[in-house]
Amino acid sequence: MRIGFDAKRAVSNFTGLGNYSRFVISNLMKYYPENVYKLFIPKLPQESKDKENETRKDEKVYSIKQTHKPFWRTMGIVKDIKEERIDIYHGLSNELPYRINKAGVKSIVTIHDLIFINYPQFYNLIDRIIYDIKAKYACKVADRIIAVSDCTKRDIIRHYRIDPSKIDVVYQGCFPIFKEPADGLKKKEVRHKYNLPDQYLLSIGSIEERKNILLIVKALKYIPDIHFIAIGKQKDYADKVMRYAMEHNLSDRVHFFSKVPLTDLPTILQESKIFIYPSLYEGFGIPIIEALNSGIPVIAARGSCLEEAGGPHSIYVDPYNESELAEQVKSLLENDQQRVLMVKEGLEYVKRFSDEECTNELIKVYNNLLNN
C-alpha cells in the first residue's frame, strides 16, 4: 500500500496530537515496512532538514512532501496526493483536505474528541467554529472514521449523525519507556533533581480547568501526610489552584512541575503512590495507560472515556465530589492488598494497548477499506 499522512503535528507538536501521529507512523513503519509511507507537511523543521535527503533515497521507508504555500493542508495538498499515487490518505488529527473525496483516493480521518462541543466553555468561539467545521466535514467525506475510544464514537454518532458502521474504534498506546522499571540509581537521581516528597499523589496533563486538578487539592484537606504533584503546561488555572491551596494552608503539599523531560517522567510516575486523573472529559486518556504500564494504581473521573482506558480494576469517582475522592485515596493508601491487586490487574488490562495490537487493528481498517 501507498499510504499518505497529514504529518504536520508529527514533526511540530510534542503533546497529544503530535504523539498520536508519531505513534501511528513509527509503528506502521516498524511492523509493516512493506508499505510506502508518505508524510505530507507544510514545513519541515530546521533540525530535520539534514535528514530529508536520506529519507528520499529509500522510498520503502518513507518520504516527505513539503511546501510553504498558504492553505496547502486545506486545499493544495489534494494535487500532491494525486501525484504521489496514494492508495489511502489518513488525516491524523480531526481533519481532511477540502475535496479529498474528488481525488480518486480512499480517505480516513482520526477523530480524537469532540470536547469543543460537549464543553464549549473551555474554548474560545473562533476555535470552536473552526474545529467544528473541520471535524464535521471530515466525518462527512471520509470513507472511514477512526475514533480513539468508544466514547468518541458515541459523540460522533450523536453530534454529526454518522452511521455507526462507518466508524472503527482503534486505540493508542504509550511510549515504551513507561514499561521499563527505573533502577535504584535513576530513582535516586530523579528524587534529588525534583526534591520529591516521600509520599505523593500524581497527575499528568496540562494544568487547565478541564483537567480538574483542583478536585485533588480540595481532597487533600481530608488526607494528612501526603503531597500532590501535577506535571504539565501551566495555564491561568494553575494560579487558581495554587490560590486555593494557599487559602487552605495546603501550599506546602502542592507542587507543579513543567517541562519535565520524557526520560524523567516514568520514574516520577513509578515513585508515586496513586495516579489521579479527574478530568471532566477526555477523548481517551493516555496518562492512565502510562500509569497502568508503570505499575501504579489509578483513580479517575467518571463521565467520559476514562473507564475504557483504566479498565474494571481502576477506581472511578464523581469529578465534582472531593469527599468521595478523599475517601477512595485514604482507603487505597491503607489497603496494600487492594493496591497489589489493582497493579496486577492493571498490567494485564493494559496489554490491549500494546504498540503491535493497536497497529494490527489499524492495518485491518486499511485492508478492509481497500478490499471492499
Domains observed in the chain: 2-173+354-371 (3.40.50.2000), 176-351 (3.40.50.2000)
pLDDT digits (tens, 9 = 90+) for 208-260: 999 999 999 999 999 999 999 999 999 899 999 999 999 999 999 999 999 99
Please tell me the predicted confidence (pLDDT) of residue 304: 87
pLDDT-derived band of residue 82, with 50, 70 and 90 as boundaries?
confident
For the cut 70, the answer to whether the pLDDT of residue 70 exceeds it is: no
Strand partners, 41: 66
pLDDT digits (tens, 9 = 90+) for 321-343: 999 999 999 999 999 999 999 99
Please tell me the predicted confidence (pLDDT) of residue 16: 64
Tell me which residue of 268, 263, 305, 303 sits closest to 288, measured CA to CA.
Answer: 305
Tell me which residue of 88, 93, 70, 81 sits closest to 8, measured CA to CA.
Answer: 93
For the cut 80, the answer to whether the pLDDT of residue 364 exceeds it is: yes
For the cut 50, the answer to whether the pLDDT of residue 48 exceeds it is: no
Which is more confident, 262 or 76? 262
Please tell me the predicted confidence (pLDDT) of residue 12: 56
Please tell me the predicted confidence (pLDDT) of residue 248: 97
Q: Helix or strand or coil: residue 153?
A: helix
State the amino acid at position 369 in one-letter form. L
- Number of neighbours of residue 365 by Cβ within 10 angstroms: 18
Please tell me the predicted confidence (pLDDT) of residue 235: 86
For the cut 90, the answer to whether the pLDDT of residue 359 exceeds it is: yes
Q: How far is CA 38 from its chain centroid?
A: 23
Q: Report yes or no on whether pTM surpasses 0.75.
A: yes
- What is the rounded average pLDDT for all residues in the chain? 90
For the cut 50, the answer to whether the pLDDT of residue 154 exceeds it is: yes
Q: Which three cell numbers stand for residue 351?
A: 496489554
Please tell me the predicted confidence (pLDDT) of residue 75: 64
Please tell me the predicted confidence (pLDDT) of residue 49: 46
Please tell me the predicted confidence (pLDDT) of residue 44: 60
Strand locations in 61-214, DSSP E? 62-66, 88-91, 106-111, 144-147, 167-169, 200-204
pLDDT-derived band of residue 60, with 50, 70 and 90 as boundaries?
very low
pLDDT digits (tens, 9 = 90+) for 264-285: 999 999 999 999 999 999 999 9
Lowest mean pLDDT among 72-76, 232-236, 317-321: 72-76
For the cut 60, the answer to whether the pLDDT of residue 98 exceeds it is: yes
Please tell me the predicted confidence (pLDDT) of residue 254: 98
Q: Which three cell numbers stand for residue 12?
A: 511540530
Please tell me the predicted confidence (pLDDT) of residue 81: 86
pLDDT digits (tens, 9 = 90+) for 19-46: 888 899 999 999 999 999 998 876 665 5
Give the residue-averaged pLDDT of 74-81. Answer: 76
Residues in the chain: 372
CB-neighbour burial class of residue 171 (10 A; exposed 0-12, middle 13-18, buried 19+): buried
Please tell me the predicted confidence (pLDDT) of residue 64: 58
pLDDT digits (tens, 9 = 90+) for 340-354: 999 999 999 999 999
pLDDT-derived band of residue 61, with 50, 70 and 90 as boundaries?
very low
C-alpha neighbours within 13 Å on the C-beta side of residue 369: 25
Please tell me the predicted confidence (pLDDT) of residue 53: 42
